[in-house]
Amino acid sequence: MEDRVFSSVHSTVFKESESLEGKCDKIEGYDFNQGVNYPKLLRSMLTTGFQASNLGEAIDVVNQMLDWRLADETIVSEECSEEEKNSSYRDSVRCKIFLGFTSNLVSSGVRDTIRYLVQHHMVDVIVTTTGGVEEDLIKCLAPTFKGDFSLPGAYLRSKGLNRIGNLLVPNDNYCKFEDWIIPIFDEMLKEQKEENVLWTPSKLLARLGKEINNESSYLYWAYKMNIPVFCPGLTDGSLGDMLYFHSFRTSGLIIDVVQDIRAMNSEAVHATPRKTGMIILGGGLPKHHICNANMMRNGADYAVFINTGQEFDGSDSGARPDEAVSWGKIRGSAKTVKVYCDATIAFPLLVAETFASKREQTCEPKTIA
Amino acid sequence: MSDEEHHFESSDAGASKTYPQQAGNIRKGGYIVIKGRPCKVVEVSTSKTGKHGHAKCHFVAIDIFTSKKLEDIVPSSHNCDVPHVNRTDYQLIDISEDGFVSLLTDNGSTKDDLKLPTDEALLTQLKAGFEEGKDIVVSVMSAMGEEQMCALKEVAPK
């Protein structure tokens, strides 16, 4: 009798498990006995687990974005034009990459990683918030400093220091920005009145990139490389304050958002036969704006989200790629990853293992499809 | 050029109509030029230096002639134009049919280029008082080449 009870308990506790051998990757971290080898260390993340694995997968997905060519797809002869059947053309058609990021990342050193990508035309469309633009320009006029999260607000206010997390931006930086930008708005208004120029956020940003003329600015490189920078929320930041004040001095400057939504959605709609990929750092407007545009072409083919948002509150910022699939913003067949991590850690490491290492290998400029 | 060529008329035309003052020093009740109009300041608020750039003064003011509300935002270290506002009293001589009044100046000559006031109440009071043959002294406010009757009082006949 006891034997039967014993064997039933035994079989409950030691339930026979399904073998994962061959089906799943084994968990194995980096062995420092190999020495401090950074590329190998980064590659080991894929099998380290948790967010390290997610970052490893994100690196994988981005490399797939970069490696894809139209030549990889089988020709569907009825739908193809003659040009699209040509094999050297098919070898040249690459994935169109949308890069989105929030303004805090531009205040941080990630701005310089972004600048690298834009400088070498490694991304095709940029979407950001107003802060994401002005922080880049202001850094060309005066630097941002490292502070501390715990610095008291009232004390900082009395010293004229603005805190962004553990970064500090002196008020004077914004004064310099004002002195730099107001004359440019004056010129733009003049061009609007005399040459009938109709300004849009992206045109304004191209102009600012031209005017800043500084190689440390990603906006400058976006202008040089003809990469559009979309910022539909242009008034929500210091730049918006400048537009507000400028309207008192000399009113009449018009900035058309309708033209820009045409342009942004067209980037997605007319991407075909290229595949599209989204790399989105942070949440908010840049995340949604890029996903929404891709909805216009029945969904992106690749998506990498790096953010710290959680989905339990139903926010779009915290939503996983699978939620976007339900909207048609990402294809059901797409390769997607969300890395739950502060992008200041994850993004430079990701770029090291994708864009930068590929460039180091090939040392040839990316051809624009 | 010989000196005889220069003949200066003694009039207000050459005097400056405005003078500059730092925006941070203009107070409520003072005067300020906004969009070329002379105005009286009814509200000033200052925002400290910050994300929006330099410290700024936000003025809400009333056009002294048209009573329209105008507003402006100026960096507080910036200079604004402040109009010279003058008030002069004249004795009313006559109201002409084409809407002008005839006034007696201090030195005994007449001033005929002032229009009737646009303010309804003032206009009615003026016309009524004139019809009744009363002695009326009008106050004329002038700024930046514009002038307008702003008040009147009836003087008891001697």
Q: In chain B, pLDDT over 90 holds for what percent of residues? A: 42
Among B36, B60, B83, identify where a domain stops.
B83
Q: Considering CB atoms only, which of A160, A162, A242 is closest to B53?
A: A242
**Is A178 in Cβ contact with B53 (below 8 Å)?**
yes
User: What are the chain B neighbours of A238 within 8 Å (beta carbons)?
Assistant: 51-53
**Is A160 in Cβ contact with B53 (below 8 Å)?**
no
Could you give the C-alpha distances from B123 to B96, B142, B151, B157, in angstroms and in order?
A: 13, 18, 10, 21
pLDDT tens readout for residues B143-158:
998 999 888 888 866 5
pLDDT at B10: 46
Q: Is residue B2 part of a domain?
A: no
Query: Minimal Cα distance from A169: which residue of B?
Result: B51
Among B51, B83, B115, identify where a domain stops.
B83
B6: pLDDT strictly greater than 60? no
What is the spatial distance between Cα A297 and Cα A291, in angstroms, rounded to a whole number? 10
CB A349 within 8 A of CB A57: no
DSSP H or E run through A82: helix A82-85
Exposure string for A311-333, b = 16+ CB within 10 A, e = fewer: eeeeebbbbbbeebbeeebbbee
Q: Which of A98, A131, A120, A101 has the alpha carbon at shortest distance from A264? A: A98
**Is A160 in Cβ contact with B51 (below 8 Å)?**
no
Please tell me whether residues B53 and B107 are part of one structural domain. no
Structural domains counted in chain B: 2
Return per-residue pLDDT of chain A as tens, 369 residues.
Answer: 688 888 888 888 888 888 999 999 999 999 999 999 999 999 999 999 999 999 999 999 999 999 999 999 887 766 677 777 788 888 889 999 999 999 999 999 999 999 999 999 999 999 999 999 999 999 999 999 999 999 999 999 999 999 999 999 999 999 999 999 999 999 999 999 999 999 999 999 999 999 999 999 999 999 999 999 999 999 999 999 999 999 998 899 999 999 999 999 999 999 989 999 999 999 999 999 999 999 999 999 999 999 999 999 999 999 999 999 999 999 999 999 999 999 999 999 999 999 999 999 887 555 554
Torsions phi, psi of A26, nearest 5? -80, 145
Please tell me whether residues B42 and B78 are part of one structural domain. yes
- DSSP conformation letters of A200-261: -HHHHHHHHHHHH--TT-HHHHHHHTT--EE-TTTTSSHHHHHHHHHHHHS----B-HHHHH
What is the spatial distance between Cα B96 and Cα B21, in angstroms, rounded to a whole number? 41
Residue numbers of A annotated as active site = 329
Please tell me whether residues B77 and B102 are part of one structural domain. no
Please tell me whether residues B79 and B107 are part of one structural domain. no
Q: Considering CB atoms only, which of B49, B50, B56 is closest to A245?
A: B56
CATH number for the domain including B35?
2.30.30.30
According to DSSP, the residues that pair with A276 across neighbouring strands are A96
Output Rg (C-alpha) for chain B, integer angstroms. 20
pLDDT at B158: 54
Q: Considering CB atoms only, which of A160, A241, A248 is closest to B52?
A: A241
Which residue type sits at A352? A
What was the ipTM of the complex prediction? 0.71
Q: Is residue B98 part of a domain?
A: yes
Please tell me whether residues B114 and B126 are part of one structural domain. yes
B1: pLDDT strictly greater than 70? no
pLDDT at B134: 85
Written as six digits, the tokens of B105 are 């100046």
pLDDT at A163: 97
Which SS3 state, helix, strand or coil, does residue A269 take?
helix
Residue of A236, A245, A250 for testing the chain B interface, max B β-carbons within 10 Å: A245
pLDDT at B17: 87
Contact with chain A for residue B49, Cβ under 8 A: yes
Please tell me whether residues B127 and B68 are part of one structural domain. no
Q: Is residue B13 part of a domain?
A: no
pLDDT at A1: 65
Q: Is residue B47 part of a domain?
A: yes
CB B88 within 8 A of CB B36: no
Please tell me whether residues B93 and B142 are part of one structural domain. yes
Please tell me whether residues B62 and B98 are part of one structural domain. no
Range of the domain at B125: 85-154
Instruction: Lowest mean pLDDT of A128-142, B4-18, B113-127, name the range.
Output: B4-18
Q: Is residue B113 part of a domain?
A: yes
Q: Is residue B51 part of a domain?
A: yes
Contact with chain A for residue B73, Cβ under 8 A: yes
Q: Which of A135, A118, A132, A111 has the alpha carbon at shortest distance from A284? A: A132
Please tell me whether residues B150 and B89 are part of one structural domain. yes
What is the spatial distance between Cα A41 and Cα A28, in angstroms, rounded to a whole number? 11
pLDDT at B153: 87
Please tell me whether residues B91 and B145 are part of one structural domain. yes
CATH number for the domain including B122?
2.40.50.140
**Is B53 in Cβ contact with A175 (below 8 Å)?**
yes
Q: How far is B13 from chain A (nearest CA, A)?
A: 28
Please tell me whether residues B98 and B79 are part of one structural domain. no
Please tell me whether residues B99 and B124 are part of one structural domain. yes
Sketch out chain A's domains with CATH numbers: 87-142+172-358 (3.40.910.10)
Q: Which residues of A touch B (CB under 8 A)?
A: 160, 162, 171-172, 174-175, 177-179, 238, 241-242, 244-245, 248
Among B35, B52, B83, identify where a domain stops.
B83
